[in-house]
Amino acid sequence: MSGKTVFSGIQPSGELSLGNYLGALKRFKDFQGANDSLFCVVDLHAITVRQDPAQLRQRTYSGVAWYLASGLDPAQCTLFAQSHVSAHAELAWILNTFTQMGELERMTQFKDKAARHKHNINAGLFAYPALMAADILLYDTHEVPVGDDQKQHIELARDVAERFNGIYGPTFVVPKMVAPKAAARVMDLQDPTSKMSKSVDSLGTVFLHEDEKTISKKIMKAVTDNEGMIRLDKDKQPGVYNLLAIYAACHDQTPEEALAQFTGKGYGDLKKAVAEAVVTVLAPVQARHKELMADTAQLDAVLAAGAAKARARANKKLAEVYAKIGFTPRQG
């Protein structure tokens, strides 16, 4: 054990995308074993947008299966569903009272989602970051491996932790975000100025379950530019930059290392190489995911064991927080 605690979560709000894989899932296995690591399917977060119950259940199983297929081993980490550990919701309530309206109003994810779901801008969607802070702070988390889009949420979790500690004395570890060295923000293949999202079903998003032909077609159709040169220029050539970042992440390289392999080559060569890299990286993960999904009873068992481990520590932390706030001790 390195002594570090690592926590991350993925919402079962849609089919997972290549962005979820390269920005988060792919590297989770590197954090298990040597660290104290927890990975969660955050179903409570998912219901901030209306979900079909059967689909939510299915996507939660699928999320667990993607975690396992990406190399997580339940013997080396704690893998669980957020709704199975009620301390998350309880601490979220407490942290709501330490989070300011103004802070929540500034969150870009809230602004984006509120714009996309105009008829359901609910209080849960607004308070989402306080629940996310609870997820992280409950376990004395040091590091949170996530994609770039979660930066604002992690900063808020840090601020809330510091605020609470400032009032009640040292209680929460102030967590740090860990971004990947490439593909921290995988962009939409059709609009490389927007994030690739699992909530947008289009040619611009590669979904993890898609077959080789579909994935290759989407990548070969990726929007580039008229510069005609492969360079790493995020502002002038966002499409090419995105392809190089995806290639780099698939090969565990930096974008600069990836660039060196394309001197004198054209956009067609680049797209072909990216398609091949993505298909190669995903093939074994997809195969394992399919096997795991055939046995949901086994996934239930993984979740049950994970929740039991998480619950014990979460309840302990919650009791510490309740005592500091001045609640009388729970008897039994």
Question: CA nearest 155: which of 194, 89, 90, 107?
Answer: 107
Residue 18-57 contact track with ligand TYM, rule CB under 6 A, x = bound: -xx--xx-----------------x--x------------
Residue length of the chain: 332
d(CA 272, CA 201): 23
- For residue 303, the minimal CB distance to ligand TYM (Å) is 17
Rounded CA separation 73/329 (Å): 36
Please say if 265 is a catalytic residue: no
153 or 271, CB closer to ligand TYM? 153
* Minimum distance of ligand TYM from residue 110's CB (angstroms): 11
Q: Is position 113 an interface residue for ligand TYM (rule: CB under 6 A)? A: no
Task: Check if 113 is active-site.
Answer: yes
For residues 50 and 56, what is the distance between their CA atoms, to the nearest angstrom?
A: 10
User: CB of 9: closest distance to ligand TYM in angstroms?
Assistant: 3
Distance CA 95, CA 90 (A): 9
- Is 106 in a helix, a strand, or coil? coil
Angle 87-96/296-325 helices, nearest 10 degrees?
Answer: 40
Interaction of residue 147 with ligand TYM, rule CB under 6 A:
yes
Report the nearest approach of ligand TYM to the CB of residue 331 (Å).
31
Rg of the chain taking only CA atoms, in angstroms: 20
The single-letter DSSP state of residue 244 is H
Nearer to ligand TYM, 149 or 298 (CB): 149
Of positions 135, 267, 282, 302, contacts ligand TYM by CB under 6 A = 135
45 to 2, 23, 158: CA distances (angstroms)? 30, 19, 19
Least Cβ distance, residue 184 to ligand TYM (angstroms): 6
Let me know how many helices (H) and strands (E) the chain has, helices first.
Answer: 14, 5
Q: What is the DSSP string of 152-180?
A: HHHHHHHHHHHHHHHHHSS-S---EEE--
Q: Give the residue closest to ligand TYM by C-beta.
A: 23
Residue with tokens 């999202």: 197
Q: Name, in order, each residue with C-beta under 8 angstroms of 198's C-beta and a sequence gap of 6 or more.
A: 13, 14, 15, 16, 17, 19, 20, 205, 207
Active-site hit among 26, 195, 271, 317: 195
Residues 296-315 that bind ligand TYM (CB under 6 A): none
Tell which positions 153-182 bind ligand TYM, by CB under 6 A.
153
Which one from 4, 29, 151, 198 is the annotated catalytic residue? 198
Binding mask 185-224 for ligand TYM (x = CB under 6 A): xx--------xx----------------------------
Using CB under 6 A, which of 6, 10, 138, 243 touches ligand TYM?
10
- Is 195 tagged catalytic? yes
Told to check if 8 binds ligand TYM by CB under 6 A, we report yes
Write the single-letter amino acid at 272. Answer: K
The packing angle between helices 267-293 and 238-250, to 10°, is: 50
Binding residues vs ligand TYM (CB under 6 A) = 7-11, 19-20, 23-24, 42, 45, 132, 135-136, 144, 146-147, 149-150, 153, 183-186, 195-196
Could you list the active site residues? 113, 195, 198
